Amino acid sequence: MTNLPLVKLTGESAGELSVSEKIFAEPAHDHVVHSVIVWLQAAMRQGTHSTKTKAEVRGGGRKPWKQKGTGRARAGSIRSPLWRKGGVVFGPKPRSYNYALPRKIRKLALRVLLSEKVVQGQIKVVEEFKLSEAKTKVAAKFLQDLGVSGKILLVSGEKLEIFQKSFRNLKGVCLSAANELTALNLIRAKWVVLDKSAVAKLEEGLK
């Protein structure tokens, strides 16, 4: 087991929390993390790019000049790809860039990134995200008391309405449920703050 420092909402120490080494002490696998990041970014691509072929460009139905006798090169359409304003050959068409990646690989990447945060000392565990009221000022004070700044990822085991309303207006703060956590969220964040319920769900889901 690995021990992580447990803190209260006020930033005061609340002891230590024992967590699974299989989740929070995974050896580095950079190639796995790279594969998952590329997969996630590919899935995010819209793929709406499109060009028109010779058949789709307006016009060009009539043969520009007769086949023989003019001395010019033969032509069948003014929308030939060889011509200005002609169609595009093998141009991009709408497509999906998504592809399958084994769940085992995706889970391994999350374990590696969580473990890196532990080694770097950039992960904190709070007892619970239970703020007194849904105000940005209260949320900012909470982060200040924790001693975290920059890009912060808050991961909760449960979807809390007050929690979401309080932090959504803070610049650089990203919210995620434990079961929706992605490698992109982790790699973009400088600090990761979990609550105890999130730790339990991650240990259950990533084992």
Please check whether residues 24 and 66 belong to one and the same domain: no
How many domains does one find in the chain?
2
Please check whether residues 39 and 55 belong to one and the same domain: no
Q: Is residue 97 part of a domain?
A: no
pLDDT, position 135: 86
* Residue 55 pLDDT class (50, 70, 90 cuts): very high
Q: What percent of the chain has pLDDT over 90?
A: 63
How far is the CA of 72 from the CAs of 65, 67, 152, in angstroms? 9, 9, 68
Q: Taking 90 as the threshold, does the pLDDT of residue 48 lie above it?
A: yes
Please check whether residues 191 and 139 belong to one and the same domain: yes
- pLDDT, tens digit (0-9, with 9 covering 90-100), for 153-193: 999 888 767 778 888 888 999 999 999 999 999 999 999 99
Please check whether residues 115 and 193 belong to one and the same domain: yes
pLDDT, position 138: 86
pTM: 0.84
Please check whether residues 201 and 120 belong to one and the same domain: yes
Please check whether residues 40 and 55 belong to one and the same domain: no
- Please write down the long-range contacts of 54-57, taking CB distance under 8 Å and 24 or more positions apart: 54/79, 54/80, 54/81, 54/86, 54/87, 55/87, 56/87, 57/85, 57/86, 57/87
pLDDT, position 17: 86
Domain limits at 83? 51-91
Q: Taking 90 as the threshold, does the pLDDT of residue 99 lie above it?
A: yes
Q: Is residue 96 part of a domain?
A: no
- pLDDT, tens digit (0-9, with 9 covering 90-100), for 130-145: 777 778 898 898 889 8
pLDDT, position 76: 96
Please check whether residues 199 and 123 belong to one and the same domain: yes
Which of 103, 97, 108 lies closest to 32, judged by CA?
108
Cα-to-chain-centroid distance, residue 16: 30
Please check whether residues 153 and 78 belong to one and the same domain: no
Lowest mean pLDDT among 4-13, 37-46, 76-85: 4-13
Please check whether residues 160 and 111 belong to one and the same domain: yes
pLDDT, position 182: 94
pLDDT, position 159: 74
> What CATH number did the domain enclosing 186 receive?
3.40.1370.10
